[in-house]
Amino acid sequence: MKKKKKKYESKDIVVLEGLDAVRLRPGMYIGTTSARGYHHILWEIVDNAIDEIANGYGDTIKIFLNTDGSATVEDNGRGIPVDIHPTLKKSGVEVVYTTLHAGGKFNNDNYKFSGGLHGVGASVTNALSKWCKVTVCKNGKKYFIEFHSYEDDDGKMHSGVPVAPLKEIGTSSTSGTSVTFLPDPKVFGEQRFSCEAITRRARELAFLNKGLRIEVTDRSTGEEYFFHYEGGISDFALYLVEGKNSLFKTPIYFSAESKALYLEVAFILTDSYTENTFSFVNNIPTTEGGMHETGFKSAFTKAFNDYARANGLLKDKEPNLLGEDFREGITVIINVKMNNVQFEGQTKTKLGNIEAKTEVENLTLRELTRILDDKKNATVAEIIVNKAKQAAKVRLAAKKAKELTRAKANAENFNLVGKLAASTSRNREKSELFIVEGDSAGGSAKQGRDRSFQAILPLRGKPLNAEKKRVDQVLANEEIRTIISALDTGFGEDFDLDSLRYNKVIILSDADQDGAHIRAILLTFFFRYMRPLITDGHVFIGLPPLYKVYKKDYEKYVYSDAELADAVKAVGKGYMIQRYKGLGEMNPEQLWETTMDPEKRTLIQVTIEDAAEAEKLITTLMGDAIEDRKAYISEHANFDKEDNFMKEYKNI
């Protein structure tokens, strides 16, 4: 039957007024309505306060998590403009909170540097809040305005509407802005702000803005946190290498400025084997790097090669050292402030400004050359060059092993035949790889899986802890080599996410201490040598059941002690409980039904909420500092609740 064409006319075009577009498509503005997006609307307000301080106005930000679920952000900056906008005929406060792409950041007259370059931050927060209240202290007076979102009698949603125009409510001897808002449950569901996540970011902001004071108060618990670092990013570098053996005590620091940007860098070298670079642009973490990182790395390599040549540390016949050699064991903070920032996407994770590469490269080369020419830095310079020379030897020793990892599941190389049970599908988006603890569980998984899209790789022994070993030692471990080969992505500097054969990489281990250790070891390896696998959302933890509650004609699998109590109550008298000590105790049908069936299983996606804190956590849990590890476990571990235990891994 021929389908009748529907007329498409001008009357069919829907015009979303004001902030309604934000509420209809929140993902376009904050990425997601999950916990990340929920906190994003808080950071939009904090970023505005930071922009004031970064440009020289004020020095203190206070964040309050209120008992009703709302949050308050206070600063002692200049205060949002309260006068009437010449064309919109509204107060500056109302314009900022109700108009997309409105703000003082599109020219450089008021903000030389700004993270909120899109001009949508405050208005988006207002649009996605049930209500929002703004108090401004300015010019000796205090002003107030309130916004709310509501649904009218016709079912039409009105987002971030002012209850009344801005009004003067008193006098004030100070200046600044206070914003209190309640994220709308209709958008975000029943979520709450995480004090832990907020304090992590607050600490980072205090590091990045020397002299800034940030206070965080959780009014539900009474907990208060204060962050203030006169050493700025030098203190940040020292914080990140706590628990590691630094090869010199004080970080190398420099700052420099051009017409295009301001740059500051701090780095310190440890005896570890991995590089840790953390970059920021206008206080925003650029977790995917970008042009500023590229420029820094190029200049860093040239400066130290030139120094090594000039001082006889590299002989004429010896080739230049590579950048990865100089950066082995380094922890570096790159902090850039610049105008007209071009981030790749509203989520602001990668700097796209091409000119940033040239500017950062020139400034870094100039400043490092100045530092290296200073005789008092000769000892530190030699330490860096000598460690790089040793790293080059290890790199050459590991070259053959790296070449082996490029072979595609070749039995002669990694003996994958008999280990990897490949899936038949060539569709990466649907394919899954289960990395399974032990031959017994691996055998059940192979029999119980759906071979059309599920591949199984049993581990016959524990992989190596990549945190404590050199790259050549890591590659010497058979279990690590089989994982690299199965994923087909390469490794370290050669990692290529586009070559990944499976959209989901699922770690499946026993719900006991050994299983937890294996999870930690695998996550450490992925974090150190295949980090995009995590940052792009491909790594998961399979959650096997702890118990089966059953009696005649009834059975239920449960995954935590809390769930067990509910199951026992529901089944009534005459029940039996089976405790699963390991995956190997389940037959193929049970393993499929409980842990592998996409319709029924529980997977925990591994994410990195804060790269710097993840780095510190990996160092603490998997490094050599035993006392630091004991202290962390004593403070944070809850051995009574498996669901809390699993939550720790999710945050790694």
Contact in structure between 621 and 243 (CB atoms under 8 Å): no
The whole-angstrom separation of Cα 237 and Cα 499 is: 34
- Distance of CA 560 to CAs 350, 479, 548, 609, 646, Å? 39, 30, 11, 25, 10
Catalytic residue among 514, 536, 561, 597: 514
The whole-angstrom separation of Cα 577 and Cα 571 is: 11
Catalytic residue among 151, 257, 512, 566: 512
Q: What is residue 553's DSSP assignment?
A: T
Number of other CB atoms surrounding residue 466 within 10 Å: 25
Chain centroid offset of residue 24 CA = 26
Here the tokens at position 615 are 């780095």
Here the tokens at position 375 are 């005789």
Chain centroid offset of residue 110 CA = 31
152 is catalytic: no
Catalytic residue among 264, 510, 593, 642: 510
- Distance of CA 464 to CAs 162, 519, 534, Å? 59, 12, 19
DSSP per-residue string spanning 570-592:
HH-SS-EEEE---GGGS-HHHHI
DSSP per-residue string spanning 385-418:
HHHHHHHHHHHHHHHHHHHHHTS-S-HHHH--TT
Phi-psi region at 157: left, alpha or beta (left = phi > 0; alpha = psi -120 to 50): beta
Contact in structure between 636 and 648 (CB atoms under 8 Å): yes
Catalytic residue among 204, 437, 613, 642: 437
The whole-angstrom separation of Cα 49 and Cα 89 is: 25
235 is catalytic: no
Enumerate helices (H) and strands (E) in the chain, giving the number of each.
Answer: 23, 22
The whole-angstrom separation of Cα 41 and Cα 43 is: 5
**Residues identified as active-site:** 437, 510, 512, 514
